[in-house]
Amino acid sequence: MTYRVAFIDDHDIVRSGFVQLLSMEDDIQVVGEFSSAEQARAGLPGLNPHICICDISMPDQSGLDLLNDIPSGIGVIMLSMHDSPALVEMALERGAKGFLSKRCKPDDLITAVRTVGGGGVYLMPEIAQRLVQVAVDPLTRREREVAILLAQGMEVREIAESLGLSPKTVHVHRANLFAKLGVSNNVELAKRVLNL
């Protein structure tokens, strides 16, 4: 699958750098670049991207406000210099499927696009870990580890390999997380972790 990506950021140097990184991947195609919310609002519908990477702080309108105008079916990854838990929570509540700091590593950017393009939710590992540590004290150490990896968009098989567990054990931890936090899927888990 080729992931079609649109990029919205008012800083030319940031936009061109991120677009260049994305363009180096065989399975990612940048289909549009916008320097304002107004441009994005006008241009996005005709491009049919799978993913839109959107800066939060733009001069004409907040990327958070623009979320309401992005056509449904497009997974939005918010991008910001600021990654406070409150800001991440607000982005997820408004429908974002991912959150990256502008200090992210190239691998984070690529993984976020592929994860969100595949229907998942992606938070940078540092952001996910900080949010989980603050939010899920009632969980066991292992449940916390599994929650962090799920919030990063990892699959059960990958988590099992990473933690040296069987997939069945990871499924049990995931079920315990869902029960303790009152959620039924990974998207709800990420949102619930932020609201604890």
Q: Are residues 89 and 19 in the same domain?
A: yes
Q: Are residues 15 and 53 in the same domain?
A: yes
pLDDT at position 135 is 62
**SS3 of 155, please?**
coil
Q: Are 26 and 3 in contact (CB under 8 A)?
A: no
Neighbours of 165 (CB within 10 A): 18
Q: Are residues 87 and 136 in the same domain?
A: no
End position of a domain, from candidates 122, 151, 166: 122
Per-residue pLDDT of the chain (196 residues; tens, 9 = 90+): 899 999 999 999 999 999 999 999 999 999 999 999 999 999 998 899 999 999 999 888 889 999 989 988 999 999 998 877 778 888 988 899 999 999 899 999 999 999 999 999 999 888 887 677 656 566 788 888 888 888 878 889 999 998 999 999 999 888 888 877 778 888 888 777 655 5
Q: Are residues 111 and 24 in the same domain?
A: yes
Which CA distances in Å does 109 have to 13, 20, 53, 76, 178? Answer: 16, 12, 10, 13, 28
Q: Are residues 33 and 7 in the same domain?
A: yes
On whether the pTM is more than 0.75, the answer is: no
Q: Are residues 64 and 88 in the same domain?
A: yes
pLDDT at position 107 is 94
Neighbours of 164 (CB within 10 A): 7
End position of a domain, from candidates 99, 122, 145: 122
Closest CA to 42 of 16, 61, 64: 61
CATH of the domain at 176: 1.10.10.10
Q: Are residues 118 and 131 in the same domain?
A: no
Q: Are residues 41 and 87 in the same domain?
A: yes
Closest CA to 110 of 91, 96, 124, 127: 124
Neighbours of 83 (CB within 10 A): 23
Q: Are residues 86 and 144 in the same domain?
A: no
Q: Are residues 20 and 109 in the same domain?
A: yes
Q: Are residues 23 and 83 in the same domain?
A: yes
**Which residues constitute the domain of residue 118?**
3-122
pLDDT at position 140 is 80
pLDDT at position 148 is 81
Q: How many domains does the chain have?
A: 2
Element holding 6 (H helix, E strand): strand 3-8
Phi-psi region of 60 (alpha: psi -120 to 50; beta: other; left: phi over 0): alpha
**Crossing angle for the helix pair 167-181 and 186-195, to the nearest 10 degrees:** 50
- Where helices occur in the chain by DSSP H, the ranges are 12-23, 37-47, 63-66, 85-93, 106-117, 125-135, 141-151, 156-163, 167-181, 186-195
End position of a domain, from candidates 94, 122, 150: 122
Which CA distances in Å does 71 have to 33, 59, 109? Answer: 16, 21, 22
Q: Are residues 84 and 142 in the same domain?
A: no
**Which residues have a Cβ under 8 Å from the Cβ of 48 and sit 6 or more positions away?**
4, 31
